[in-house]
Amino acid sequence: MRVKLFQNIYKTFRIKYNHMAVFTQVFNPLTAQNEWAVHNDDYDYDLELTCTGFGDMLHDKERNQKYFKALRMAIARMHADGREAHVLDIGTGTGILSMMALTAGADTVTACEAFMPMANCAERIFTVNGFGDKVRLVKKRSTEMRIGVDMPQRANLLVAELLDTELIGEGAISIYNHAHDELLTDDVVCIPSKATCYAQVVQSPLASQWNSMKIVADLDGNILLQPPKDVLQCKGDAAVHDMQLSQLSLENFVPLTKPAEIFEFDFNRKSKTPVPVQRQQLLEMIALQPGSTDLIFYWWDISMYSGDNLVLSCAPYWAHPDYKSRNDIIPWRDHWMQAIYYIPKPQHISRTGEKFVLSCNHDEYSLWFDVHNTLKSNTTVSRHACTCNLHLAYPRSRIGQMNQSVRNKKFLNYLENNLTKDSQVLCLGDGCILGVAAAKMGVTSVVISENHYFSKRFMESVVKNNDIKNVEFIENVNSLPYSKLSQFTHIFGEPYFFSAILPWDNFQFGHLLQNIIEKLPPTVKIAPYSAKIFAVPVQFTDLHKIRTPVQQCEGFDLKLFDRMIKHARAKLPDHKVEAQPLWEYPCKALAKPQELLHVDFHNFKKEQSNNGDIQAESDGICNGIALWVEWNIDGGSGSKSIVSTGPVEPVEPGKFIKWDMFVRQGVQLFEQGYPVINGKSSIRWALQHKPTLSKIEMDFNVNV
C-alpha cells in the first residue's frame, strides 16, 4: 500500500498531568515546527489508518470477489475430499476474509491482527455480523503465535493479504515461511497460491527526470550548472517508485522489450522448501527497438487458487490480460499499483533484435535491477544506494521539479532580467538550485539558507564542481546580522521546503521573510512577489474511493470500520484536505477554477477571511475539490510571471484536467458524490488565513 505523506508525522506520548492525558506532537509544515495538542485520556491510536487509502481495498470488487470465490472453491474441495477446513487468516484487518471463509463453510477460523485499533474494530465487526463466537481472534503478529496457545491445531487453509505494490515489501516472505514452519499443515492450501512478477525495460526521458539532476541552462542555451561528477557517477536509489502507470501517456515512454516473467513466489510451498529470501535472475532480453535502458516497469499478478485459472493482475492497461480494446475497463486499485525501478547505468541499445541481459534481484523486502551487455553467470549485483546525496536529500517529485524546464525558464527569465553585477541575493527555501544558478549570472554574492544535512552536501557539490566562488551557505536566516541583511538587493525562493505537504505549506517562504523584512532595505526585490490558492470542483474517476464509506462489502456490514475512520480523521489538522499527485488520478472539471486566496509576500502578516460560490458549469457528480498554488514571480500579469503547481493547460468544464506531474496538489474528497447541474448547482466555500498562527483553514459545501 502506498505510503502517504501524512504518515509518521504524528508522535504520540502519554504524560501524567493531573490525570492520564495524551499529548500528541503535531508537525506544522507552515512553520516547520512541532506543536503540542492535548487529548482526553480516552484517546485512541487509530490515526495511522486515516493516513492511508485502506478503504479503497474494500472497494476493490475484483479482489474481494476473487478471494471469496477462491475460498468457496477450496473449502468445497476439502469437504468433498472428506477433510475439515481449519482456516488461518493472517492480518485480518476488518475481518472480511475470515467472514468470507465462515460463509463458505469453514469449520474453524483463527484470525490474527497485531495493530490494536484494527483488531478491536474487527472484533466488533465479527459480533455485528453474527460471527462473534465463531472466530478465534488473536491480537498479535502471526510470527508470535504458537500452536496450543493461540491455535488449538495447525491450519490447513491459509488466507492472507500480505502484499504491497512491490509484492514483498510488507514482509510476506518471512511471514509465509514462518507460517509454514510453525502454524500450517504439510498439505495446506494457500489463498492466494502463488504470485508472478513481471518487468519491462523502457526508455523514458520524462520518467528519467525523477531520477537525476540534468543540466541547467540559461535562456540562450548557455550552461549555468553542470551536474556534479558524483551525481553522474551515482547509481541512484534502488527504492521502488510506485505510481499508476496506466496514467503515464504512451507518448512518454518507449518499450524496449516485451514484459518478462522474472520471479515466481509459491505460497503453497509445494516444493516443501522455504520461499527464498534472496534470489537473482539473469534474463536474456531481445530489444524491440533501439533506445536507452533507462528504467524498469514492474507489476505482478496472483493466482488465487491452485489448479484454477483465477488470476488477479496488477498490470497497467496496455499489458493487462483483460485489455483487448479501449472499451475494456481495467479494475482500478490504489493499494496495489505498478512501479518504476531506475537502472543504475543505462545501456544504449543500437538496433532492433540486439540482445542484452536484465539482472533481476530481490531480498526479503525489496527488488532491484541492472542491465549488462553480456551474460555472465558469476555476475552478482548488490543493491545499489545513493552516493551523491541527491537521492538521500530529495523525494522523486522534487528531483523531477528541479529538471522541469518550463518552470525553470520562468524563474531564470526573472533572474536574468533583474540581477546585475551589484546584486546581493538571499535565497529562502530548501535545495534552491536556481539560487546557485543565479550566482553564475555575475552577481556580487548569493547567500543560501540551507540546514538539511544531505541537501547542503549536494548543493555544496554543485557549487564546487561548477567552480562557483560567490555562494555562502547559512543554517538559519534569523542569525544574519542587520549589517548583512541591510545589504541584500534581492530575496529569492523557488520556493520549496522539505516540511511542505500541501502546496500552500510552501508559504513558509512568507514566514521566514516576515522575520527579517524590517531589517531589509526598502528597495529590496522579493520573488516570488505573491501567491494565489485556486480551487476547482471535480468528478474523480476513482480517487474518491479511498475516502468513500464502505458500508457493506460482499454482503458484510462494515459500518463500524467507516465510523472508526471518520472519527480518527476528524482529529487530524486540515483533515479534510490531503496531498495527492493528481496526474495519476483522472478527474473532470465541473467549473472554471476560482481564486480563494491572494497573499502578497511584502505584507504576509495580513489576515484574510474569504468566501464565495463556484457555479457548476458542467453536469456531473462532484466528489472532490482540487486545490493548488500559483506563484507570481514578479507581480506581472503575463504567463511568464506565473509558475503553477496545478493544471498545465487551461481548464475546461466537462473535460479532464491535465496536471503538473512533479508536485502534489491538494484535494478534499467528499464521502459521497453530489449530482450537480450546469448553471443550477454551486459549491459554497470559505477560507481563513491566519499567518500569525500559521494556519490556513478552508471548507467546501455542495449546493445541489
- Backbone phi, psi, residue 208, to 5°: -65, -20
Q: Which residues contact 310 (CB under 8 A, 6 or more apart)?
A: 66, 69, 70, 73, 303, 304
Residue 378 is classified by DSSP as T
Residue 71 is classified by DSSP as H
Query: Is the separation of the CB atoms in 474 and 449 below 8 Å?
Result: yes
Question: Is 315 strand, coil or helix?
Answer: coil
Catalytic residue among 113, 123, 161, 166: 161
Helix H or strand E segment including 600:
strand 594-600
Query: Is the separation of the CB atoms in 496 and 401 below 8 Å?
Result: yes
Query: Is the separation of the CB atoms in 602 and 632 below 8 Å?
Result: no
The secondary structure of 407-428 as a DSSP string is HHHHHHHHHHHH--TT-EEEE-
Residue 538 is classified by DSSP as E
Question: Is 366 strand, coil or helix?
Answer: coil
Determine whether 166 is an active site residue: no
Q: Which three cell numbers stand for residue 566?
A: 471518520
Q: Which residue in the block uniquely carries the three cell numbers 539532476? A: 213
How many CA atoms, within 13 angstroms, populate the side-chain half-sphere of residue 8?
A: 4
122 vs 127: CA distance, rounded Å: 9
Determine whether 113 is an active site residue: no
Radius of gyration of the chain (CA): 27
Q: Which residue in the block uniquely carries the three cell numbers 449546493? A: 703
- If we measure between CA atoms, which residue out of 413, 405, 305, 286 comes closest to residue 351? 286
- If we measure between CA atoms, which residue out of 522, 439, 449 comes closest to residue 488? 522
The secondary structure of 75-140 as a DSSP string is HHHHHHTT---EEEEES-TTSHHHHHHHHTT-SEEEEE--SHHHHHHHHHHHHHTT-TTTEEEE-S
627 vs 697: CA distance, rounded Å: 13
Catalytic residue among 48, 62, 84, 170: 170
First-to-last alpha carbon distance for the chain, in angstroms, is: 35
Q: In the chain, what's the furthest Cα-to-Cα distance?
A: 90
- If we measure between CA atoms, which residue out of 317, 302, 298, 367 comes closest to residue 161? 302
* Burial (CB count within 10 angstroms: exposed 0-12, middle 13-18, buried 19+), residue 200: buried
Q: Which residues contact 51 (CB under 8 A, 6 or more apart)?
A: 4, 6, 7
How many CA atoms, within 13 angstroms, populate the side-chain half-sphere of residue 421?
A: 0
Residues identified as active-site? 161, 170
